[in-house]
Amino acid sequence: MRLLEAVTSHIVVVEDDAGIGASLTRTLEGQGFEVSWQTTGAGALAAVRPATALVILDLGLPDQDGLEVCRRLRARSSSPQVLILTARGEEADVVLGLDAGADDYLIKPFRLAELLARVRACTRRVDGERDHLVAGDLAIDVAAHTVAVAGESVDLRPKEFDLLVALARSAGHVVARERLLGEVWDEHWYGSTKTLDIHIWALRRKLDPPGGASRISTVRGVGYRVDLP
Nearest CB to Ca ion, comparing residues 43 and 60: 60
CA 162 to chain centre: 9
In whole angstroms, give the CA distance from residue 162 to residue 51.
7
CB of 64 to Ca ion, least distance (A): 12
Considering the rule CB under 5 A, would residue 34 count as an interface residue with Ca ion?
Answer: no
Q: Which candidate, 185, 40, 187, 24, places its Cα nearest to that of 106?
A: 24
Residue 16 interacting with Ca ion (CB under 5 A): yes
Q: Nearest distance from residue 108's CB to Ca ion, in Å? A: 9
**Nearest residue by C-beta to Ca ion?**
60
User: Is the CB of 85 or the CB of 200 nearer to Ca ion?
Assistant: 85
Rounded to a whole number of angstroms, the minimum distance from the CB of residue 110 to Ca ion is: 14
Beta carbon of residue 95, minimum distance to Ca ion (angstroms, whole number): 19
Residue 39 contacts residue 21 (beta carbons within 8 Å): yes
Q: Which of 71, 177 has the CB closer to Ca ion?
A: 71
Residue 12: phi, psi to the nearest 5? -105, 120
65 binds Ca ion (CB under 5 A): no
The nearer residue to Ca ion, 16 or 141, going by C-beta atoms, is 16
Q: Which CB, 65 or 137, lies closer to Ca ion? A: 65
Crossing angle, helix 194-207 and helix 158-168, to 10 degrees? Answer: 80
Detail the DSSP E strand segments found in 30-177.
Answer: 34-38, 52-58, 81-87, 104-108, 132-135, 138-141, 146-149, 152-154, 175-176
Quote the longest CA-to-CA distance of the chain: 63
Kindly determine how many residues on this chain lie close enough to bind Ca ion according to the rule CB under 5 A.
3
User: Which residues in 35-64 contact Ca ion (CB under 5 A)?
Assistant: 58, 60
Q: How far is the CB of 22 from Ca ion (least distance, A)?
A: 14
Q: What sign for the dihedral angle of Cα 140, 204, 227, 168? A: positive
| Residue 9 Cα distances to 48, 55, 89, 122, 132, angstroms | 12, 11, 32, 11, 13
Of 34, 30, 40, which is closest to residue 53 (Cα–Cα)?
Answer: 34
- Closest distance of CB 58 from Ca ion, Å: 4
Stretch touching Ca ion by CB under 5 A, among 9-17, 93-101, 106-114, 214-222: 9-17
Residues 84-103 that bind Ca ion (CB under 5 A): none
Q: Given the complex with Ca ion, which of 66 and 182 has the nearer CB atom?
A: 66
Where along the sequence are the contacts to Ca ion (CB under 5 A)? 16, 58, 60
